[in-house]
A and B are shown apart, each in its own frame.
Chain A
């Protein structure tokens, strides 16, 4: 991906400093990937690429939120996998035991996943608010200036002839 993004038509002004093709290496300023033993770097990179393709971050600030979302999603996947592992293990022996004995553990995992999902969604909202907010406010800030410039040309007949 190019790192540049197509914005809404109304956003004439874009945040500065477009990023070059982001990758895990480019994100080193945001720390190393949150991999623990037994987790595949290639899986993480796949998730990172997928989220970058959706978010299309254009500056360092958007990249921070993108990374927040990816890392939280990775944590969510990790805990869902842990839950699946617990259920699978006990299912092999005795499903009743899994449900009765491990129910508290499974509920704890569910609560943690819900918290992480809420934080991930909050990161989405922050990124969106920044993107729409900055674009819209910069557009509003520059619009009167553009109009004024346009009127100035209109109010000066003969400008085209002089320019030509």
Chain B
């Protein structure tokens, strides 16, 4: 498990070596959050907050301690962020592909599924979108690794509690 010290050092190094350098670049990237809102904390959105709280309850299980609940909320928050990025990516692809009038394969025989021209058009649209999709991937990867770290912390707390419960018995 990556130590908290290493995570802090990685973040400091990343801040020093990534992101825009010029004033124009900084101004442009500062508008990113307004464009897709993927950098906005989920707790500022009532709908996402409700989803996260519900998920946290399910993760924490029955009669959780406040500590377990707090860690479960961190896991849930990161997971909802993952879901938000994925939804955004799907919407983006949907937006660009919907005009192709691709048949729903569920409704058709398998031999009719492929129309070569249409498939190529779809392929080229998806390929054109890949730079944007890769940018979204970065948000997702960050959220996933935050979620995995939160799960490790939650697991550690659960084990400590199991130990202390065992000792008290």
Contacts and interface: CB of A to CB of B under 8 A. Distances in A.
Interface stretch (A49-57, A134-142, A155-163): A134-142
Contacts of B103: 38
B79 interface: yes
Interface in B93-147: 93-94, 97-98, 100, 102-106, 114, 116-120, 122-123, 126-127, 130, 134, 137, 141, 144, 147
Interface stretch (B29-37, B38-46, B55-63): B55-63
Contacts of B61: 16-17, 59
Interface residues of B, number: 51
* Contact residues of B: prevailing secondary structure: helix
Nearest to B154: A61
Contacts of A17: 58, 61-62
Nearest to B150: A61
Interface of B: 51, 54-55, 58-59, 61-62, 75, 79, 83, 86-87, 89-90, 93-94, 97-98, 100, 102-106, 114, 116-120, 122-123, 126-127, 130, 134, 137, 141, 144, 147-148, 151, 154-155, 158-159, 162-163, 166-167, 169
Given A37-B98, A134-B159, 10 more contacts: A32-B87, A36-B90, A59-B61, A60-B55, A61-B151, A89-B116, A130-B151, A141-B159, A141-B166, A145-B166
Interface of A: 13, 16-17, 29-32, 34-43, 59-61, 64, 68, 71, 78-79, 82, 85-86, 88-89, 92, 105, 108-109, 112, 115, 119, 126, 130, 133-134, 137-138, 141-142, 144-145
